[in-house]
Amino acid sequence: MTTPKPISQSSLARPAVSHSLSVSPTATFHSPPASGSFMASLASRAAAKQLKPFNTEDIKILLLENVNQTGRDILSGQGYQVEFHKASLPEDQLIEKIRDVHVIGIRSKTKLTAKVLQEAKNLLVIGCFCIGTNQVDLDYAAKQGIAVFNSPFANSRSVAELVIAEIIALARQLGDRSNELHRGTWNKVSAKCWEVRGKTLGIVGYGHIGSQLSVLAEAMGMNVIYYDVVSLMAIGTARQVPTLEALLGEADFVTLHVPETPETKNMLGAKQFEQMKNGSYLINASRGTVVDIPALIKAMRAGKVAGAALDVYPNEPAGNGDYFTTDLNQWAEELRGLNNIILTPHIGGSTEEAQRAIGIEVADALVRYINQGVTLGSVNLPEVNMRQLTLDESNHARIIYIHRNVPGVLRRVNEILGDHNVDKQISDSKGDIAYLMADVSDVRPEDIKEIRDSLDGLSSRILTRVLY
């Protein structure tokens, strides 16, 4: 392999890595052999060549909130500089750190607002090592050409199992009995303790978690109904109901699995608690803003709701410690004082299995984006994929052009690329943002510099990257 040689930096706003060069187009494309046996054809296939930005040891990655070791190992194994912190950082420290990094990995506590991201002049990509991405200003990131990846499915089973455990614990008042015995009080009772067999579980949001939960609940003999804003095929004998009100009026247990959006804010408030069956139970392992907590407190004190399990809250501490107080949420003391309430610190996906899977999934996505420009799985940019290059294609460059989705851009880009042999090209758009990839063959470093500088000069440009 020849030694990579850097090309001079662009004078425009986006920094070095956004114009990085690499010595390797990667590819798994194999041209079919003209003749010969099957084994001969295997031997003749061109080996894949890994695409990496120039000087990968200069790729700086900041990982916060105790990202799993599996993810750290994958990123370190690429030769990147990885800085790891077990907790999130205060905003002022986060701003100071983010100025120098090309990649940041977070979980749910770190807030990447526009204020923070506008300081991230080198940032290429954000990895959310969790399901949710509401902690990131996705629109602002997209407008800066910063891709965002998450892990939407890896912890689904862990959350579903937690909910099953809480259904049984609430039905049997296990939390109260355990607390009493810890205090030395023996209180053996059966009043208002129930089997879950034959009871109705109402699932709000029948996505990956909700559907897995449906299967587990049916296996325990529960009847399952669900409400979703779209029509979805039921699994097993589950049944979709037309409205949230219909679900609340029929379910013995209501469990929430919806994203944080303006439409879901306080979707369970005083009105909805009145619609629930007397003596029913509520479980929220989705987002803290979905439930009006003061209204829940009133409903439980009135006996309308017999028990609740909460894993998420409107305001959550940034790290472990004695922080769940009235200073954070003014109703915290009232909530802790209720009977038959299970309070957990956002641990729905906190299992060894889930965190290992999340670490691998998100880290792999980050490596593909850094090294190949592939955006499959991005939540804020168009999802674009292109076959890799091979060792036989040594003088190829991959051009990545993120731009505003306005008329005439492709014509201008193709005019710039027109003097070169474009082996393949793909483009897609998502709202106001478009993403173009093109592999150009038989190019010299001076050709690449000319292409890059010309693309940087277009008024539609958001970000230009070159992998070589």
Distance CA 248, CA 267 (A): 12
Which positions are catalytic? 287, 316, 346
* Contact between residue 393 and residue 441 where contact means Cβ atoms under 8 Å apart: yes
Q: What is the CB-side half-sphere exposure of residue 44 using CA atoms within 13 A?
A: 11
Distance CA 233, CA 65 (A): 37
Count, residues in the chain: 468
* Contact between residue 221 and residue 196 where contact means Cβ atoms under 8 Å apart: yes
